[in-house]
Amino acid sequence: MESGLGSYQDLINGFLKSGYTPEFFSAAAERDRCLIIRHDIDFDCGYAYQIARLENELGVKGSYFFLLRSDSYNLLSSENAEYVKRIRADGHSVSIHFDPIIYGQDFQHGFKREREIFENIFDVKIKIISLHRPNDFFLNYDEPLADVEHTYQTKYFRKIKYVSDSQGMFRYGHPLETEAFQSGKTIHLLTHPIWWVGKGESNIAILKKHLSERQARHDAHVARNCIPYQDYLERK
């Protein structure tokens, strides 16, 4: 599984060969040589499932955070809900990628509503969430939301090394080349599956390919549910 970032398998194996132990958030904050594997799912649940399958082969488990309110995908569709259930069944953690900006000052109430839906649909008890594109206020918001921790609290975001593939690149250096890695410190690794699963030689190429494939899937969906459009596609 290669991308402009390299091989996801090589990345994780680099940690494993150096004695790192993959752990979930709650188990890793106060220890050294732990790897917290976090995935924020911004664009496609199928990409998340592909990464989860690869992690199964590698013998590691990650934390997957899904948007409940998104224009990119419908988490409650039968296909996407099945992806989430399969990921959870394989021993990974699944939770909410929460966008507090949607709710303005009422974000606490908004989160409670999303938590109730997610826990009921996927039969889980949420212990930690990830915030979607947090602004400065939420990057410095060190309190839990409705008694649920989030990944930008100080103990996960500042007291341990945080690295991210945001924008399809490691903007502050490759994780295996950081001082924290060289000294065996715990690392909070955020990846977005699209950058590792998507096809293309650059971040823009990956996004354009994703959008093209999404359009093809949506065409097929509309055709299945609308005979005139099905006839139109058949005539093309």
CA 219 to chain centre: 26
Residue-wise pLDDT for 94-152, tens only, equals 999 999 999 999 999 999 999 999 999 999 999 999 999 999 999 999 999 999 999 99
Question: How, if at all, do strands 128-131 and 2-3 pair?
Answer: unpaired
Dist. CA 183–CA 189, nearest whole Å:
16
Residue-wise pLDDT for 171-187, tens only, equals 888 999 999 999 999 99
CA 188 to chain centre: 13
Q: Are residues 158 and 90 in the same domain?
A: yes
CATH number for the domain spanning 11: value is 3.20.20.370
State the residue range of the domain holding 164.
2-198
Q: Are residues 111 and 207 in the same domain?
A: no
Are 152 and 138 spatial neighbours (Cβ–Cβ below 8 Å)? yes
Q: What φ, ψ does residue 106 adopt, rounded to 5°? A: -95, 30
Q: What φ, ψ does residue 194 adopt, rounded to 5°? A: -60, -35
Q: Are residues 227 and 135 in the same domain?
A: no
Structural domain total, the chain: 2
pTM: 0.94
Q: Which residues pair with 149 in a beta bridge?
A: 128
Q: Are residues 54 and 165 in the same domain?
A: yes
Q: Are residues 173 and 227 in the same domain?
A: no
Are 98 and 114 spatial neighbours (Cβ–Cβ below 8 Å)? yes
